[in-house]
Each structure stands twice: as C-alpha cells, then as structure tokens.
C-alpha cells in the first residue's frame, strides 16, 4: 500500500495508507458519526471545501451504486476512514469505495486512528488540514498546513455548487438519467433555490405533490415571483451563510410575499434575512443520529445533520421569530418560525432517513401552508 499522511493546522499528524486518488488535498477537517450513507455524504454539496472523517470503523462494505447519489458528482475535498472495505457485498454495488474516489480524483487516507482524530477535533475544534500520498515529510506538510488559507473563511462556496440555469425537476438531467417518476399529482408550484440542493429533497417535494422548479442561488426575488409560485424552498448548502449576501437579500424580499421553507443553510439564510446573527460551531453537527426536540409537541426526532454554523434565536426574536426545535446534545437552535407569516425552517435534514422517517411531516406542513395561501 502507498503511505499517506494527514496533517492538521495545529501540527497533529496521522500516518496511514492512501485511499482513492494519489495526490494532495486540503480542506476543513470534520468528523461524521453516521454508520452508513457514505455515498450520500460524498455527493452532498454541503461538504464542499471539507475533508470528511468517518467515525464508524468500516466504510465501503456495501460498495457504490448508481441510485444513492445526492447530486451530479462527489464534492468532498478528501475522505478519511479507519478501514475501507476492498470487497463490498451488496447486490446493487457496482464498484468499491476506493475505485469511486479514484475515478473522481478525490484523495483519501485509511488505516489511521480515527478515534484519536475525532477526539482531537472535538476537543480543539474543526480545522484545516492536508492529506498527501506524494509528500512523506511530516515537517514539510506541517509548515504547509500552518499557512493554509482557512477553507470556509470568506469563501462563497454556494456559487461553486449551485446550478448554472433553472430546470424543472420533471425534466432535470438527473431525473432523465435515473428514470425517477413522481408518485403524486401536482397541486402546488414550488420554486427551490439551489444552494447545493440534494436530490432527495426534490424527491420529497414531488412525493407531496409539488411541481418543482430549481433556480440558481443568484436568482433575484423578482424573477422568482414572476414564476407565480405557491411556495419557495431554500436548500441546504456549504460554508458560511454570510458569504452569500445575494441569497439573503432575495429571501428578505420574499418573506411575507409567499410561503417559505428552509433546510440547513436555508435555515441560516432565513435567520440572516430576518436580521439575525449566525455563528460558527466548534466542530459542527455531522451525522445521522442527532436528537432534536420539537418544542410544540415535546417529541424527539433522530435526525441527519450536516452544518458548521447555527442561528442565534434571540437575534431574531424582536422581528417576530421563535424557535421551534432544539438540539438535545448542545441546546442549539434547530428550527425557527415566524409568529404571523407563513415562513419556517429547520437546521437538520428531514429528507434524510436515519431510521424512521421522523421529520418527513415538515414537507406536509409546507404544503399545508401553501394550500392555506391559495396554492
């Protein structure tokens, strides 16, 4: 096996073996606690700019298939695992994890102590790092890592992942290629902002009877309203929400004009559009097992999450907003709604299913708001 190194900005280094493409990459190193779903993680645009370390020790055991992608390509900057399965076992598998990474030019590393890496990131915070299978001198890599530009600081990652032009989900490239077919008659017209949208969000919207048009993140509010939508959806996406002021401004103009539902980055964008404040979490929430409490019902949902920023709910309280969900691990805000206007959001991913479909009701709530407004 080809030796490889992972070196963090603070100098912590891990020796291992090369995984995927040979070369060198850098990005913000974060950890994900999911035991499965690695293909969805790799193809989630929200991971743009990040090196993802999986805490579960065996990754790739069911291989890679053609159905479980969440976007048109993998987006992670790098991938870190304890052990990558070389012989996958699943009837849908078409290739191995390592071959998939290599085919897409993604540099990875395996055979390192991922528990030690996770504890270090938990205790010291997510930080930039380098994976290299071409440079074996730790001191050289430590110096490179020390002077890395911070991956997410001031970088508009949304512009790097958004669609180039509007498209209808019925006629979208991915649907034509994969043969997806809507299962419910359309009763509402939704315009979805693509800040890095996942395919399963589009499937969920269609399954609840929405006719979905996806527009690039730079689309002005006026252009959205010209489409006469019954509702507007704000998607997930990568990076700091403050680096997408064009999207914040568009959403600010849409609030009160049409029902709005935001997920993940869309939740943060709504918070900023309402005049609120966002802040960076020490190591973020990345995984398929985060408990979230619905403050209205008292029920607890086990949710899938992927975000490094959060909204301060007190910063939007005076503007008529109130928190609807709270993270039971750290108490951060996981949902907001306006007391009078048909606008709400959640920080987690209700379209993902880490077990029961705990949060799928949110799409029905969005549809109900649109129907109340005449959709």
For residue 26, with 0-12 CB atoms within 10 Å meaning exposed, 13-18 middle and 19 or more buried, which class applies? buried
233, 266 Cβ separation under 8 angstroms: yes
75 and 188 in one domain? no
With b meaning 16 or more CB within 10 Å and e meaning fewer, what string describes 292-308?
A: bbbeeeeeebbbbbbbb
Q: Mean pLDDT, consecutive 10-residue segments, the chain of 375 residues?
A: 96 98 97 95 97 98 94 96 96 97 98 98 96 96 91 86 90 45 72 96 90 97 97 97 97 97 98 97 94 95 94 96 97 97 96 74 93 71
Q: Is 350 left (phi over 0), alpha (psi -120 to 50) or beta?
A: alpha
- Specify if 151 maps to a domain: no
The tally of domains found in the chain comes to: 2
pLDDT of residue 176: 43
**Is 142 inside any structural domain?**
yes
Distance, in Å, from the CA atom of 27 to the CA atom of 182, rounded to the nearest integer, reads 37
Same structural domain, 84 and 167: no
Residue 188's pLDDT is what? 92
The per-residue pLDDT for 63 is: 97
Same domain, 265 and 301: yes
Closest CA to 352 of 301, 310, 308, 309: 301
Q: Tokens in use for 271?
A: 């918070």
367 and 253 within one domain: yes
Boundary-marking domain end, from 146, 172, 199:
146
153 part of a folded domain? no
Task: Please list the active-site residues.
Answer: 264, 349, 351
Judgement on whether residues 267 and 227 belong to the same structural domain of the protein: yes
| 3-state DSSP percent of the chain in helix, strand and coil, to 5 | 25, 35, 40
In a domain, 221, yes or no: yes
Tell whether 52 and 32 lie within a shared domain.
yes
In a domain, 152, yes or no: no
pLDDT, position 357 = 76
170 CB burial (10 A radius; 0-12, 13-18, 19+): middle
Q: Which domain holds residue 234?
A: 158-372
Has residue 183 been placed in a domain?
yes
For residue 170, the model assigns a pLDDT of 67
Cα–Cα distances in angstroms (integers) from residue 238 to residues 195, 203, 320, in the given order: 8, 20, 27
Of the residues 146, 176, 195, the one at which a domain ends: 146
Domain CATH code at residue 7: 3.50.30.20
Same domain, yes or no: 240 and 309: yes
- Residue 260: give its domain's CATH number: 3.40.50.880
Choose one of 115, 146, 177: the last residue of a domain. Answer: 146
Q: Are residues 239 and 139 in the same domain?
A: no
Examine the domain organization and report whether 222 and 324 are in the same domain: yes
Question: 191 with 93, same domain?
Answer: no
Of 135, 145, 129, 13, nearest in space to 79 by CA: 129
Mark whether 126 and 195 lie in a shared domain: no
Exposed/middle/buried for residue 185 (C-beta within 10 Å: 0-12, 13-18, 19+): exposed
Residues 142 and 206 in one domain: no
Instruction: Tell me if 80 sits within 8 A of 115, measured CB to CB.
Output: no
């Amino acid at each position: 096996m080809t030796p490889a190194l992972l070196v963090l900005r603070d100098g912590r280094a891990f020796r291992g073996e090369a995984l995927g493409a040979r070369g060198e990459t850098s990005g913000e190193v974060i950890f994900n606690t999911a035991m499965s779903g690695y293909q969805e993680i790799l193809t989630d645009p929200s991971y743009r700019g990040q090196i993802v370390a999986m805490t579960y020790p065996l990754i790739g055991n069911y291989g890679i298939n053609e159905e479980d992608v969440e976007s048109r390509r993998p987006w992670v900057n790098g991938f870190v695992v304890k052990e990558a399965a070389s012989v996958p076992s699943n009837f849908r598998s078409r290739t191995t994890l390592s071959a998939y990474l290599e085919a897409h030019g993604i540099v990875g590393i395996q055979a390192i102590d991922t528990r030690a890496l996770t504890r270090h990131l938990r205790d010291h915070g997510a930080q930039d790092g380098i994976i290299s299978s071409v440079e074996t001198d730790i001191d050289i890599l430590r110096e490179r890592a020390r002077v890395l530009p911070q991956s997410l600081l001031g970088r508009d990652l949304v512009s790097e992942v958004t669609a180039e032009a509007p498209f209808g989900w019925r006629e979208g490239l991915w649907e034509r290629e994969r043969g997806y077919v809507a299962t419910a008659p359309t009763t509402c017209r939704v315009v979805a902002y693509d800040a890095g949208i996942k395919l399963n969000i589009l499937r969920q919207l269609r399954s609840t009877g929405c006719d979905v048009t996806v527009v690039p993140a730079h689309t002005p509010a006026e252009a959205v309203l010209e489409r006469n939508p019954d509702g507007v959806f704000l998607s997930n996406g990568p990076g700091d929400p403050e680096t997408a002021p064009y999207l914040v401004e568009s959403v600010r103009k849409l609030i009160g004009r049409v029902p709005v539902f935001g997920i993940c980055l869309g939740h943060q964008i709504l918070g900023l559009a309402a005049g609120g404040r966002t802040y960076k979490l020490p190591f973020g929430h990345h995984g398929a097992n985060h408990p979230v409490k619905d403050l209205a019902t008292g029920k607890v949902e086990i949710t899938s999450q992927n975000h490094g920023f959060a909204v301060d709910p007190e910063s939007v309280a005076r503007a008529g907003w109130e928190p609807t969900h709270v993270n039971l691990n750290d108490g951060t805000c996981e949902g907001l709604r306006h007391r009078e206007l048909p606008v709400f959001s959640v920080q987690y991913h209700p379209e993902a299913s880490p077990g029961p479909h705990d949060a799928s009701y949110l799409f029905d709530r969005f549809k109900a708001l649109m129907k109340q407004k005449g959709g």
